């Protein structure tokens, strides 16, 4: 989780990822942020986030993104 939070903070140091719950819905992260983030997550955690998972449900909070990573890791 620590490595994941570091990726988020490096990508957008101005965002309070601990408390924000509507990152995508409120436009805090735009599509470029999301694409960059997915690339870095894929690289760091050896997962492949599919295009279909690029939705607010999975990207509205750091917790939701982390859960997505865990799910994909389990699915292999």
Contact criterion met (CB below 8 Å) for 65 and 59: yes
Rounded Cα distance between 49 and 21, Å, is 20
Only one of the segments 17-25, 27-35, 61-69 lies at the binding site for another protein (rule: CB under 8 A); that segment is 27-35
Only one of the segments 20-28, 41-49, 59-67 lies at the binding site for another protein (rule: CB under 8 A); that segment is 41-49
Terminal C-alpha separation, the chain? 18
42 binds another protein (CB under 8 A): yes
Contact criterion met (CB below 8 Å) for 38 and 64: no
28 binds another protein (CB under 8 A): no
Footprint of another protein (CB under 8 A): 10-14, 31-33, 35-36, 38-40, 42-43, 49-51, 76
């Amino acid at each position: 989780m620590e490595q994941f939070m570091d990726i988020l903070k490096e990508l957008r140091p101005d965002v309070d990822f601990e408390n924000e719950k509507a990152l995508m819905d409120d436009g805090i992260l735009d599509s470029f942020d999301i694409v960059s983030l997915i690339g870095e997550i894929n690289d760091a955690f050896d997962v492949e986030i599919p295009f279909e998972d690029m939705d607010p449900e999975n990207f509205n909070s750091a917790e939701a993104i982390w859960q997505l990573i865990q799910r994909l890791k389990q699915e292999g």
